[in-house]
Amino acid sequence: MAVATRGTSSNYLQRAPSPSGLADVLDVILDKGLVIDAYVRVSVIGIEVVTIDARIVIASVDTYLRFAEAVNRLDLQQTERAGIEELRGGGKKDETKGVIEGAKEKVTPGRGNSRKERSR
């Protein structure tokens, strides 16, 4: 990942004024920001990005080991790909499920803990 460095960048602290890679951009904007549907009808576009929830992972050494390998490859690739080809009415649940063995969490922008309804 290319990170614009500045100031005190070192091998133990990497600095960037702004996110450049997709994963970092997702970190900053996905599931973040004001949700205004308490005030007005909104349609939040249903982009669903698969992320990996390591808490579910550790069912057995077998899955742990397989997952360890998979995560290293998947973590970014998966995000890049899921990264945003699919949209609206989102729900490619089944396609991705097998890939990361159910250890995933769906993230819908702005709807972290709220209901998943969409207007219109």
Enumerate binding residues for other proteins (CB under 8 A): 3, 7-8, 10-19, 22, 24-36, 38-47, 52-55, 57-58, 60-62, 64-65, 71, 80, 83-85, 87-88, 109-114
Instruction: At 105, give phi and psi (nearest 5°).
Output: -145, 135
Smallest gap, in angstroms, from Cβ of residue 61 to other proteins?
3
Shortest gap between Cβ of 39 and other proteins (angstroms)? 5
Rounded Cα–Cα distance for residues 48 and 88 (Å): 9
In angstroms, what is the minimal distance from the CB of 114 to other proteins?
5
Contact 110, 33 (CB under 8 A): yes
Q: What are phi and psi of 111, to 5 degrees?
A: -120, 30
